[in-house]
């Protein structure tokens, strides 16, 4: 057991001392954490004061460890400016000793709502879903829509048992049209060559 814990255990036997100590520690913790969270977010006192609806001169007292006139509505304004919540609860004096030992900048830091891991995972999932939906919308036309209906590919007069023309799935019109154009150009070239080979009739 370290000296701090042993000293507090002994001194907390005095009722007035332990309540005075608890109140002083709470004031110190709120002021210190306000500053730590503000600096964690890279904000100035003036910037956070504006979010709280006050001036920098008035806000500076909230980072003074000797300030003791805390009000619940003031705490909520500061919390909203920092993107966190206020937690007020009744605790044992034994937990106060634990808090005192963990009273470091690292333990006072908190994520704001946008960086909260509990919600960051949900946001990531929503982004992934949106990306998948976008990918589906951007699929090539050939893979996205091959439902162009056409007359029966065997013969124009062939009918199904129901009397309706057979339907077939056909590739997108654009690739088909390009293929037809290339084929027509080929036969035009071939035809021109054949005509040049034929002797003229008298």
Predicted confidence (pLDDT) per residue in 169-192, tens digit: 554 445 545 555 555 655 555 455
| Cα 153 versus chain centre, distance | 52
User: How many other C-beta atoms are found inside a 10 Å radius of the C-beta of residue 116?
Assistant: 15
As a whole number of angstroms, the distance between CA 53 and CA 86 comes to 18
As a whole number of angstroms, the distance between CA 8 and CA 16 comes to 13
Residues 61 and 104 reside in one and the same domain? yes
Q: Does residue 135 sit within a domain?
A: no
As a whole number of angstroms, the distance between CA 17 and CA 25 comes to 12
Domain residues for the domain of 46 are 3-112
Inform me whether the pLDDT recorded for 200 exceeds 90.
Answer: no
What is the number of domains present in the chain? Answer: 2
Q: What is the pTM of this model?
A: 0.60
What tokens appear for 115 in the block?
């960086």
Predicted confidence (pLDDT) per residue in 102-160, tens digit: 999 999 999 999 889 888 776 666 777 777 777 777 766 545 555 545 444 444 455 55
Residues 96 and 154 reside in one and the same domain? no
- Among residues 53, 88, 112, which one ends one of the domains? 112
Residues 17 and 89 reside in one and the same domain? yes
Q: How buried is residue 14: exposed, middle or buried, by Cβ count under 10 Å (0-12/13-18/19+)?
A: exposed
Q: Which long-range contacts (CB under 8 A, 24 or more apart) does 1-10 make?
A: 2/101, 4/97, 4/100, 4/101, 5/97, 5/101, 8/96, 8/97, 8/100, 9/97
Residue 130 pairs with which residues in a beta bridge? none
Predicted confidence (pLDDT) per residue in 37-93, tens digit: 999 999 999 999 999 999 999 999 999 999 998 999 999 999 999 999 999 999 999
As a whole number of angstroms, the distance between CA 125 and CA 12 comes to 50
Residues 150 and 60 reside in one and the same domain? no
Residues 68 and 15 reside in one and the same domain? yes
- Among residues 112, 130, 165, which one ends one of the domains? 112
Dihedral class, residue 174 (left if φ above 0, else alpha if ψ from -120 to 50, else beta): alpha
Residue 148 pairs with which residues in a beta bridge? 170
């Amino acid at each position: 057991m370290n000296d701090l814990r042993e000293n507090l255990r002994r001194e907390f036997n005095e009722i007035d001392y332990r309540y005075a100590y608890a109140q002083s520690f709470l004031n110190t913790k709120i002021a210190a954490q306000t500053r730590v969270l503000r600096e964690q977010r890279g904000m100035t006192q003036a910037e956070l004061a504006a979010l709280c609806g006050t001036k920098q001169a008035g806000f500076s007292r909230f980072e003074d460890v000797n300030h003791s006139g805390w009000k619940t509505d003031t705490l909520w304004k500061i919390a909203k400016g920092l993107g966190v919540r206020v937690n007020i609860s009744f605790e044992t004096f034994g937990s106060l000793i634990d808090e005192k030992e963990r009273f470091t900048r690292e333990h006072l830091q908190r994520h704001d709502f946008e960086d909260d891991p509990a919600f960051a995972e949900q946001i990531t999932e929503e982004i992934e879903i949106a990306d998948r939906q976008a990918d589906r919308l951007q699929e090539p036309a050939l893979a996205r829509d091959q439902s162009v209906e056409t007359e029966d590919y065997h013969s124009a007069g062939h009918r199904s048992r129901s009397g309706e023309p057979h339907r077939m799935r056909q590739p997108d019109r654009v690739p088909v049209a390009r293929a037809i154009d290339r084929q027509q150009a080929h036969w035009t070239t071939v035809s021109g060559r054949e005509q040049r080979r034929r002797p003229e009739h008298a």
